[in-house]
Structure 1
Amino acid sequence: MQTEQEHKVSLLDGWNSPPNIVTYTRIVLVLVFLGIDIAAGPWGSHSHGLRWTAAILFIIAASTDKLDGWMARKYNQVTELGKLMDPIADKLLTCSTLIVASAFGEVFWWVTILFLIREIGITVMRFFVIDTGGRVIAADKAGKYKTLCQCIGLGMLLVPAYTFITNATALNVYTFITNFLIYVALFLCLYSGALYVYRVVKARRGAAQATER
């Protein structure tokens, strides 16, 4: 007779599955992107070529954001390690980009700090819900739109637009759209975060009341 422990799924089960390999590749890509972005300097002042390279790597990493999750679901290769690493890869890309941008004076620190508080807080809450046996609440549309606006805004920020936009008015419009998208992403970030907390608390209260009955 097999014990319950023998039925437990190890964190390393399926570590070499194709979806997980995609996740590892994304994390490595983020690390390479960070090194190049930092080397390029503020607004690409050290090297326009490196800034372009960083922008292209960011766009590739952001475009493959959902690829590993889609593969895992389509081919029934969802693993515990994948559940752990996929959100880490997602947040590593956007949060590290914001931190470098703020260090370079390209994004206000208060904007980055608010993003970090929300992303870290919600990630910790998700793991807490899983650890206590609760059901993970999927991201809503606001959260998905947040990610879209954030990735487009940061991608536009990284692109050295001044290398191909020579008209001052056009460059100002480009900068306005970039900042607008980042602020819209921040609003959606805080809104979806508050909504997620509300839904988790509501679900936990409902479960507690059902248990009492």
Structure 2
Amino acid sequence: MQEHAESTTSGGKHSLLDGWNSPPNLVTYTRILLVIVFIILDIMAGDWGQADMGLRWTAAVLFIIAASTDKLDGWMARRYNQVTELGKLMDPIADKLLVCSALIIAALHHEIWWWVTILFLVREIGITLLRVMVVNKRGTVIAASNSGKYKTLFQCLGLGMLMVPLGSSWSWYLPITRAVIILALVLCLYSGGEYLAGVYGSGSRAASSRS
């Protein structure tokens, strides 16, 4: 993901559209398009791909490609010094759109439990909104913890495994897949707690230093 670094230029604020057509941003746009196509195909494929197995396999491939390239745009932006405000906004949107849509469709298809999807969504949306509030209030971003990075890894791994239409016929495959997703959920909630502690802990220390 692209770095949420503060601008070091001495001039005024950059326009949101500055660098809109930079290569890293073009990669982000492509990922968002892949996610939209993935959503359409996954819904059309039906539960476990029963409506159309070919569409399910295509959706699985698109999910894996989109998940595997989630670091590419950020790496390009840092490597070639092309970090933009638009990129910092669109990159996490692409990530959340991919994961949250996969979770919702999987629950609609009865492939995972709704309570798992709801807990994921509450954490992801809640922390994202809190992150925006912290940036607006303090002008800084609390870096992702190691548990948050592992959460993303196991989240994409588990959902990628779930997308491959083997779970309905291989009795050993589905339990392993769901175990990976539950592990991702544990890390998701734990990392969310770490973020909350970082936000309110730092706020309490700042208040104490002023008193």
Alignment partner, residue 81 of structure 2: 76
Alignment partner, residue 32 of structure 2: 27
The answer to whether residue 122 in structure 2 is matched with residue 113 in structure 1 is no
Alignment partner, residue 154 of structure 2: 149
Give the share of equivalent positions with the same residue, in percent. Answer: 64
Distance 2:165 2:186 in 1: 25
Alpha-carbon distance, 1:206 to partner: 2.4
User: CA RMSD of the aligned region, Å?
Assistant: 1.6
What is the one-letter code of the residue matched to 1:200? V
Distance 2:136 2:191 in 1: 22
Alignment partner, residue 208 of structure 1: 207
Could you tell which deviates more after superposition, 83-92 or 129-138?
Answer: 129-138
Structure 1's consecutive aligned runs of 4 or more residues displaced over 4 angstroms after TM superposition are: none
Say how many residue pairs are matched: 202
Alignment partner, residue 17 of structure 1: 22
Structure 1 unaligned runs (5+)?
1-5
Preserved CA contact (<8 Å) 2:167 2:173:
no
Distance 1:194 1:147 in 2: 15
User: Normalized per residue, which structure has more helix?
Assistant: 1
Alignment partner, residue 96 of structure 1: 101
TM value normalised by structure 1:
0.90
TM value normalised by structure 2:
0.91
Distance 1:133 1:142 in 2: 24
SS in 2 for 1:132: helix
Describe the superposition over 1:157-190 as per-residue Cα deviations: whole angstroms up to 9, x where unpaired. Answer: 1101269xxxx6xx22211110000000000000
The answer to whether residue 50 in structure 2 is matched with residue 45 in structure 1 is yes
What is the one-letter code of the residue matched to 1:108? W
Alpha-carbon distance, 1:119 to partner: 0.1
Alpha-carbon distance, 1:208 to partner: 2.9
Alignment partner, residue 172 of structure 1: 171
The answer to whether residue 65 in structure 2 is matched with residue 60 in structure 1 is yes
Instruction: Give the structure, 1 or 2, with the largest relative contact order (CA under 8 Å, sep 6 or more).
Output: 2
Distance 2:25 2:187 in 1: 29
SS in 2 for 1:107: coil
Distance 1:83 1:77 in 2: 11
Alpha-carbon distance, 1:207 to partner: 2.6
Alignment partner, residue 186 of structure 2: 187
Structure 2 unaligned runs (5+)?
1-10
SS in 2 for 1:144: helix
Alpha-carbon distance, 1:106 to partner: 0.8
Distance 1:201 1:63 in 2: 33
Alpha-carbon distance, 1:9 to partner: 1.1
Q: Which protein is bigger by CA-based radius of gyration?
A: 1
Describe the superposition over 1:79-108 as per-residue Cα deviations: whole angstroms up to 9, x where unpaired. Answer: 111111111100100100000110111111
Distance 2:88 2:132 in 1: 10
